[in-house]
Structure 1
C-alpha cells in the first residue's frame, strides 16, 4: 500500500498491460482510458521528446496506441527551421491521426529573432501553447507577442544546472508582472530533483500553471532518473489530486525519458498507472 491508495499493481492492471495487447484497436484504447470529463478538468497528453528516436508517423501511432489524444511536438518531429509547407504537412498529419497538436517545445530563446520565429512557427502549426526556455530579458517581448497572437507561453523549469529557471518558483516570480498567459510548464521530475514540492507548488502557482510535464524519478537530488510512473518516489496520486482540486484545465503531458529506443512499454505502463489513479480519485 502507498499513502492509503490502492496498490500499484491494481493501477497498472487498469490499463497499461492491455495497451500492449496485439489486437487492441486505438479506438478501444481511447475508450478504455477515458475519464469523467466533468470531474477531471485537465487532459493527459504526450511530450513527444518521449519518442525522440522515432519519426513522426510512428510517434503518432504510438500516441494513439496508449490512448492519448493531445501532443506537444519537439523539434525532432517538427523542426524549428521547417518551411511553411512542411509545417502545414505535419499539422495535417497530426490532425488526420485524430490528435490535437496543442503545443510545441521545449523551445530555447536567446534573442528577439528566436521569440518571433517561435510565435510564427506555433501560429502556422495551430499550436495554442509554446513551451519555452527563454532568457529572462526576453519576458517583456514574450508578453507583447502573447497579447498580439493569443498564444500562451509556458516556461519550463529544468532543475539543477538551470541558471535561469531551475524551479517553478523562479518562473513564477519573474512572470508575475506580465499577462497571465505567460506562465509555467511545471516539470515535476526536475522539481523533485532540485528539492521543490510539486504538490505545494501546484497550489501556490495555480494562477500561472499552463502545462505540466508528468513523470516519476528514482531518487531525489540531481542524480534522479526517470522511471515508470508509480515505481519512483514522486507522490503522483497526491499531485494528481491537487490538479483536480485547483481545477487545472491544461494538459498533463507524459515525458518518459527512459528507454529511448524502446519507450512504449514504460510509457504504456505509466499511462495505465496514471489513469488508474485518476479513476480512483474521481470515484472516491
Structure 2
C-alpha cells in the first residue's frame, strides 16, 4: 500500500520534473523572445484558487532586477514584494516609479515592499512610506522598533499604507511569532498588522495555519516556504516546498478559507546565486497540492 509520504514524494518528484525544463535556462543570454513577453495576471486558469501567489524579491537578492523579472515570468507568477536589493531605499520617486513600471509591464503587480527596518527616526520612516507609495504598493512588510509604533501609527493614517510586521522566529527577541506582534498592535490602528512568515512561525513553536485563522483580520502579507528542521536557524533551514516539515496543504487551506487577499510571497532563501530551480520546484509543488484539494 502506498503511504502518505510516498504519495507526497511522488507528487514532489513529478512537480520537480515539470519545473526543471523551465529552470534550466533561467539566465541564458539568448532567451527566446516569446518567453519574455508581458503576461496577463487574469489570463488562463486560476491555479491558486484566488490566492495572489507571487515572490518576495529577496529570493533574488544576488541577481539583477532584469533577471528577477524574467525569472518571475518564467515560473508564471504575477505578483511581487519589492526588496531594496532591486530598488534602493534612497532612490528618487522617479526611480521608484520606473522600477514598479518595469514589473507591471512584465505582467507582475507589486503588492508590497520590504522587509524594511523601521526605527524611531521619523524622517527615515517617512521616506519608507513614500517609497512604498511611489511603487503603487499598499503594504509595507517591516521590522519596527516597538518604541516607534506610536509615530508609525501617525504615518499609517497619513499615507493610508498598511504595515505588515514580520516575525523572525526564536532568534527574534521582540517578535518571534505573530502572536507577539498581536500584543504590540492590538490597540493601534487596524492597518497595522502582520506578515506571517510560516517558517519562522513554525520554528517559534506555533502552527502557521492556526495563526492565519487566529489573526486573519490584520493579516496583510505572507512569506511562504518550507523548512527542513524546525529547530534549525533561519534561512539555513529553508527548503523547497514538500521537502521539509511544514504542512503545505493545511496552510494553503487556511489562506483559501479566510479569503486572504494579500500577497502570498514565495521567499526562497536557500540558493541566492541561482534561486530559480528551487523556486520553480516550489511553485509546481503548490500547484499540485491545490489541484489535489
> Normalising to structure 1: TM-score of the pair?
0.89
Aligned Cα RMSD in Å?
2.5
Q: Which residue of 1 aligns with 2:78?
A: 69
Q: Which runs of 5+ in 2 are unaligned?
A: 26-31
Report if aligned partners of 1:143, 1:182 keep a CA contact under 8 Å in 2: yes
- Partners of 2:138 and 2:41 lie apart in 1 by 23
Q: 1:201 aligns with which of 190, 193, 211?
A: 211
Residue-pair matches, total: 279
Residue aligning to 2:59: 50
Match of 1:160 among 143, 150, 170: 170
- Runs of 4+ aligned structure 1 residues displaced above 4 Å come to 1-6, 21-24, 26-34
Identify the match of residue 235 of structure 1 among 235, 247, 251. Answer: 247
Q: 1:62 to 1:94 in 2, by over 3 A?
A: same
- Judge which range, 110-119 or 69-78, deviates more: 110-119
Match in the other structure for 1:35 = 46
Separation in structure 2 between the aligned mates of residue 66 and residue 214 of structure 1, nearest angstrom: 15
Per-residue CA deviation, residues 87-134 of structure 1 (Å, 9 max, x unaligned), is: 122122122212101111000011222321111111111111100000
Aligned match for 2:290, one of 267, 278, 281? 278
Distance in 1 separating the partners of 2:50 and 2:197: 19
Aligned mate of 2:97, from 76, 88, 108? 88
* Corresponding residue number in structure 1 for 2:112: 103
State the TM-score, normalized to the length of structure 2: 0.87
Q: Is the CA contact (8 Å cut-off) linking 1:230 and 1:273 kept in structure 2?
A: yes
Q: Does 1:123 align with 2:159?
A: no
CA distance in 2, matches of 1:198, 1:79: 31
Shift of 1:36: 5.6
Q: Shift of the alpha carbon at 1:2?
A: 7.1
Alpha-carbon displacement from aligned partner over 1:31-89 (angstroms, at most 9, x marks no partner): 9984267xx34210100110011010100000110111011111100000112232122
Report the counterpart of residue 22 of structure 2 in structure 1: 19
For the structure 1 residues 63 and 12, does the alpha-carbon distance in structure 2 shift closer, same or farther, using more than 3 Å as the test? farther
Provide the rounded CA distance (Å) in 2 between the counterparts of 1:52 and 1:96.
21
Which secondary structure does the structure 2 equivalent of 1:153 belong to?
Answer: strand
